[in-house]
Structures are given as C-alpha cells and as structure tokens.
Amino acid sequence: MTSAMMMERTTMGVQGVSGVPSTGVPTMTPVSSNWLMVPRCTYKFEKCQGGMKITCVCDDPTARSMMQNLCTALMGGLCSVCCTLNGVTVCTCNLTMGICKCEITNDGCCITCVSGDKACCDMIQSCCDALSCMCNAGCTCCVMLNNTPVCCGYSETYCKTTTTSKK
C-alpha cells in the first residue's frame, strides 16, 4: 500500500516509562515500538448547520478500503482530530460536544459532528476554523475514532497550492 503513513503507537504517553511499580518509583525500562499503518488521504473541513463536516478522500483503492473498514468498525464513539507540524502536536480537537456520525462515500468517508445546543455548535465550528487554518498552513492531520487513527494526511487546499507552486 503506497498511500499509507507509518505512525508509532506507544502504550503510554511518556516513551521509556513502562509504569509505576508498587514502590511508587517509576522504572525506566525501554518500551518496544508499536507501529501502525495509517491510510493517507486529503481532508476538507467545512461548517454545516449545527456543526462541521470532515470529508476524507483516499485515492489509493487499498488504503481507501482500509480506512472505510476502520470507520465502519469504530464509528459511534469519540471522534478527535490531531494536527502536527514537523512531528510536533500543534492542536488536538476532541469533538465530545456533539454527536459524530461517519458515512462511507465512494472515495473515502465523511464525518459529521453536530449539536442542537448553540454553545456546543459554536465550539464545534470554532474547531472547524482552527483545523482548516492549521491544515491549510501545512500541518499534517490525523483523524481518530475511539482514539484509533483512521487516516492521516493534508488539507485538500494545501495539496492544491503546493502542487501548483512547484510547477
């Protein structure tokens, strides 16, 4: 699968710390790497009535099938989006303030997160603005369902502007 990204998944947030024994002193033992192949795609973030819509498009048929299978298996739980720049997390939006639904499309999937509450809708749409801004500026974005990465990639707009400027 040529359209995939490698991501490391460690069992804890701090690499190298395996846990705290009964003595209460952390032990520093190496933690083995846990790698995961994540389908690469392009994103489009847009506001909709009551919230936001994330459109994930995958060109590679194998990567698209993997992403769609992950979405089908994991839909119905927490949806979060993590933006990184040069490998450092810039922003993570946990869309807990709305109801998120994942819909399979011909070229990928569409995740809609909406709320009937005005304040929650405003928060969701603010997340949409932030994610659009960061991804259009070149951040890599990873969409996760139930804390499992489903797909990673760039904004559709960023891909178009960098492709045309290289010519």
Q: What pLDDT does 14 receive?
A: 40
**Taking the model in full, what pTM does it have?**
0.73
What is the distance between the alpha carbons of residues 65 and 150, in angstroms, rounded to a whole number?
Answer: 11
pLDDT of residue 78: 87
What Cα–Cα distance (Å) separates residue 28 from each residue in 19, 23, 75, 87? 8, 14, 36, 24
Q: What is the pLDDT of residue 50?
A: 93
Phi, psi for 162 (deg, rounded to 5):
-75, -30
What mean pLDDT, rounded, does the chain reach? 79
Question: Does residue 16 lie within any of the structural domains?
Answer: no
Q: Residue 62 falls within a domain, yes or no?
A: yes
Residue 19 maps to a domain = no
How many domains are there within the chain? 1
- pLDDT of 125: 94
**pLDDT at site 36:** 65
What per-residue confidence (pLDDT) applies to 151?
87
Tell me, yes or no, whether 29 lies in a domain: no
- Cα angle 143, 116, 99 (rounded to 5 degrees) comes to 30
135 touches 152 (CB < 8 A): no
Establish if 166 belongs to a structural domain. Answer: no
Residue 141 lies in a domain: yes
- Residue 20 domain-assigned (yes or no): no
Residue range of the domain that includes 108: 38-151
Low-confidence ranges of the chain (pLDDT < 50): 1, 8-28, 161-162, 167
Rounded CA-CA distance 59/102 in Å is: 19
pLDDT, residue 87, reads: 85
In a domain, 158, yes or no: no
